[in-house]
Each structure stands twice: as C-alpha cells, then as structure tokens.
Amino acid sequence: MKRLNVVILVGLIIGIVALSAGAAPLKIGISKIVEHPALDAVEQGIIDALTAAGYERDVDVEYLLASAQGDFTTAIAIAQNFQGQNVDLVVAIATPTAQAAVEVFRGTSIPIIYAAVTDPVSAELVLSATDPSGNENVTGVSDMIPVAAHLRLLQDLSPDITRVGIVYNPGEANSVILTNMAIAAAVDLGIEIITATADSTANVPLAAQSLIGRVDAFYVTTDNTAVSAIDAVLAASEEAGVPFLVADPTSIAHATLSAGFNYYDLGLTVGDLVVRVLSGTKPNEIPVTYAAKAEVHLNLDLAARIGLEFPVSIIEQAASILYGGVIFNK
C-alpha cells in the first residue's frame, strides 16, 4: 500500500512538471500603422510594462509584432493573421490599426487594447469615453492633443504668425479630426489654417513644398503619414524660413519645437491596462484612458537655422531643450 501511494505521488509530480513544462506562453499581437519614433516608443513601453509585471518575453508571453506600413488593407491582413495564430490579446497602435483589429475580431471574446488613438468614440472603437460597455472587448489609451493650445503656443512664439500650414493625410481619421479641430479653434484666435494633403509618405514633400510662401509656420499633429516623412516638412519650413511645430516630442530633432506627450510613458500606461485585462478585468470595465499633460520641447539648433529666438516665456515652460545636438532636460 505504501509503495502504491509513493507511485501515485511520483506520478502526480511528474504530471504536474510535464504540464508546467508544456504550458504555452500567451500570444499577444501588437500591430502599429507605421514605424516611426513615437509609435515605436509606445510599442517598447507596452513590452517593458509587461516585463515589469512578471511576463517574461518568450517564456510567459510571445509577442507577434507587425507594422502595416501606412496601409489599412495591410492592417486588416495583420489582424487576420493574428486571428489565425489564435492570439490571446491584441494591442493596436494608432487609429487605423485599431479600427482594423476591431473589424476583424468583431463578435469574438479576444480583448483589444488600443494605443495612441486620438478619438476612440469618433473612430467607433467605443460608444462612450466614460462607459465603454457598448464594445465589451475593447478599451485603451487616447493621445488626444490640445490643438488650440498648440496654436496659442505659435502665437506666443511670434505675433506675426497668422497663417499656419498643416500637412495631413485625409485618409487618417485621427488626423482629419485634429485638422478640423485646428480649423475651428483658429477662428477665435484670429489664425488662418491652410492645409496640404498627402495620402502617402511619398506625397508629403510635395504637400509641404506647396505651403512655402503661403504660411508663417508649419504644424503637424499626430498624423502618422506626415510624421513618417517629417524631414520633408522640416526642409520646407527651413526653405520658407518659418518655424515648424510638431505634436510628437520624439521628433524634436526634426522640428523647431514640439508640444505633446511622452509616447514611451503612454506605452507604459497601455501595458498596465494589458496586465489588468490579463489579470481578469474585462475591457468594458475600463473607461477610455487619456495621456498625461503635454510638454513643450525646444530645438535651439534648428531655430538658429531660421534666425528664430525663443521668447523667455516659452523657454521657461519647456520640459527640455535641444542645443548642440544634445537634449537638456529641465
């Protein structure tokens, strides 16, 4: 009898060890609309947050990383591939990618956590910012930027700035929303918004060049197409001798100034949401989360190239200053 008990005990131990050894890691699909510093930072923040929470890469979790290269059809194909590989959760970075994931996984129980989506309600990802219960497997983090504050920042930069040129992709829902917000806010500020559209990164240089001589400043919101070809916008602004404001701080080396969110920190916030969902919280129990306060960053090197000196009032509110190729945090 004792020998039988020992045999049973040993068998149970071997079985448990075998189950543990054979346990497959979670599969998380992370898709972004395009590769550029801001979205790359979001992706890294997500992975780092999960690592800090104890999800060891390639042991506890396997990441399927993909970029749609700015194409919505490719974003759909990526989401379908995630579905075919039986992912446990999807993280979709940027509005088009999130829309693609929601469309493909509609009617399933697979959680979808979106990141860096400007307006998740208008994008029809959730029905309400405060009550996402209408789409029970979707939640995430918005990077809605303070467009009116950005325009006021340009006015503070120089009272001569009365015409602001925006390069944007009309195919990006997030960018259309922000451009319309800028046009509406400009009325009260006495600013004229002049737009130039680019439906691909290849067309950004032509769009930016079309604004030379017509605007007193260039402005790029969180438009992924324009940010992916940001040097073309910078070149046009320098040729025109006017400042260039971008809403992506990770691109400060390619603009006169920026005012926006820390996208790595946004990724950490998204990662925390993923951990909550993996721990049992339902996505529809988590209202839309918004990015933290936007920060101002200045590039003195590029300002000098167009003969611009920042007012003391703007220097005082800057979170960091790039000078001599080095970023100094305040």
Q: Return the CATH number at 239.
A: 3.40.50.2300
Instruction: Give me the mean pLDDT over the 290-309 stretch.
Output: 94
Residue 20: predicted pLDDT: 42
Residue 330: predicted pLDDT: 82
* Token output for 23: 């346990």
Distances in whole angstroms, Cα of residue 233 to Cα of each of 160, 225, 229, 268 = 20, 11, 7, 29
Q: Has residue 9 been placed in a domain?
A: no
In contact, 201 and 67? CB cutoff 8 Å: no
Instruction: Give me the mean pLDDT over the 113-122 stretch.
Output: 94
Q: Where are the alpha helices (DSSP H) in 141-262?
A: 147-157, 173-189, 204-209, 224-228, 230-240
Which of helix, strand or coil describes residue 56?
coil
Q: Has residue 123 been placed in a domain?
A: yes
| Contacts of residue 148, Cβ cutoff 8 Å, sequence gap at least 6 | 181, 185, 189
Q: Distance between alpha carbon 239 and the CA centroid of its chain, in Å?
A: 29
Residue 7: predicted pLDDT: 38
Q: Distance between alpha carbon 92 and the CA centroid of its chain, in Å?
A: 10
Q: Is 133 a residue whose pLDDT tops 70?
A: no
In contact, 21 and 245? CB cutoff 8 Å: no
Do 273 and 218 share a structural domain? no
Q: Report d(CA 246, CA 93) in Å as an integer.
A: 19
Instruction: Give me the mean pLDDT over the 191-207 stretch.
Output: 97
The Cα angle at residue 245 between residues 189 and 222, in degrees rounded to 5: 95
Do 307 and 181 share a structural domain? yes
* Number of domains observed in the structure of the chain: 2
Do 157 and 241 share a structural domain? yes
Do 37 and 151 share a structural domain? no
Do 214 and 118 share a structural domain? no
Torsions phi, psi for 125 (to 5 deg): -85, -40
Instruction: Give me the mean pLDDT over the 232-252 stretch.
Output: 97
Q: Report d(CA 78, CA 73) in Å as an integer.
A: 9
Q: Report d(CA 230, CA 246) in Å as an integer.
A: 9
Distances in whole angstroms, Cα of residue 177 to Cα of each of 121, 145, 166 = 11, 11, 13
Do 313 and 271 share a structural domain? no
Q: Has residue 71 been placed in a domain?
A: yes
Q: Is 293 a residue whose pLDDT tops 50?
A: yes
Q: Has residue 22 been placed in a domain?
A: yes
In contact, 226 and 254? CB cutoff 8 Å: no
Q: Is 11 a residue whose pLDDT tops 60?
A: no
Do 280 and 232 share a structural domain? no
Q: Report d(CA 290, CA 288) in Å as an integer.
A: 7
Q: Is 3 a residue whose pLDDT tops 90?
A: no
**What range does the domain containing 133 cover?**
17-143+263-290
Q: Report d(CA 161, CA 154) in Å as an integer.
A: 7
Do 284 and 253 share a structural domain? no
Do 162 and 30 share a structural domain? no
Do 177 and 127 share a structural domain? no
CB atoms within 10 A of CB 132: 24
Q: Report d(CA 320, CA 330) in Å as an integer.
A: 5
Q: Has residue 199 been placed in a domain?
A: yes
In contact, 237 and 256? CB cutoff 8 Å: yes
Q: Is 328 a residue whose pLDDT tops 90?
A: yes
- Torsion angle, CA of 105/111/114/115, rounded to 10 degrees? -140
Q: Is 16 a residue whose pLDDT tops 70?
A: no
Q: Has residue 5 been placed in a domain?
A: no
Do 252 and 169 share a structural domain? yes
In contact, 164 and 219? CB cutoff 8 Å: yes
Do 267 and 256 share a structural domain? no
Q: Has residue 236 been placed in a domain?
A: yes
Residue 105: predicted pLDDT: 96
Q: Has residue 212 been placed in a domain?
A: yes
Residue 12: predicted pLDDT: 41
Strand 192-197 and strand 163-168: the pairing is parallel
